[in-house]
Amino acid sequence: MREKILLTGGNGMLGRTICRILGDRFEIVPTDLPDVDITKVDSLVNAVEKYSPVAVIHCAAMTAVDKCESEKEKAFLLNQQGTANVAEVCRHAGIRLLAISTDYVFDGSSAEAYSEYDPANGGNTVYGQSKFAGEEAIRKIYPENSLICRISWLYGFGGPSFLHTMLALADGRHPELKVVADQVGNPTSAVSVAHKLGELLQHPEINGTIHLTCEGEASWYEFAVEIFRQCRINQQVKACSTTEFPRPAPRPANSRLRKDKLREYGLSPMPHWRDALAEFISLEFAARK
């Protein structure tokens, strides 16, 4: 009998990917608005009582980074209070919590990749600050049976993501695409994250914070070039600077995350981002046929 896992944010990109990748191993119960509202404790309690899961994977969040700047109250309601509600309901029910967080909890000023042991402060964006506040809520409410899983530069089935934006722009109407080359991170497939979450569900002894980005690093420019190479698309790409694309929310120059905890716990490593990209492209295009 498959274990039942309640998934918040089931309609989102990561949620959809988790359902597809882990559906054969677990009974995934995807939930989302309007049926389950993480800002309302009663709504979460009803869902847990109805489905009796052994764990919750908490993906629901406000992730539109620029929109968070102009809708700060909503960002904190969803990312801090909503996460606190999920943690409290899981604690009361005595079930495991795997919560998704982000590289934006760091300010991106470090010259080195960030470890799980490096202090986070919420960074320079409302998104990062609200997600970090959500992390802190989990640590305060339910540290004994929860795992905060940080990811970054994510792409998954159907998007929206940088990968899907690049493919949409390569429509023959843009002879050259300018892509930022002075921001560096770990391009990460939601497929790889889903597989790792499935592995972590089998390790209830692992609590705290863990990084789940793919191995290797790239700039957005390098990532774009590799997307087009693997997709066999002849698209010219020109490197540019962050200052040429001002955004309401500042983007971290360094989003790289080290996976120290994976190694310490003796778990399998995340795949290299180029290998994960190849796997995803094959699955994504197959899904569209």
Give the H/E segment covering residue 55. strand 55-58
Q: Which of 127, 142, 155, 221 is catalytic?
A: 127
Of the candidates 12, 20, 198, which has an alpha carbon nearest to the alpha carbon of residue 96?
Answer: 198
Active-site annotation holds for 265: no
Q: Which residues are bridge partners to 185 per DSSP?
A: 218
In whole angstroms, what is the distance from residue 67 CA to residue 65 CA?
6
| Chain-centroid distance, C-alpha 2 | 25
CA dihedral 147, 152, 154, 160 (to 10 degrees): 110
245-283 burial: b if 16+ Cβ within 10 Å, else e: eeeebbbbbbbbbbbbbbeeeebeebbebbebbeebbeb
Active site residues: 127
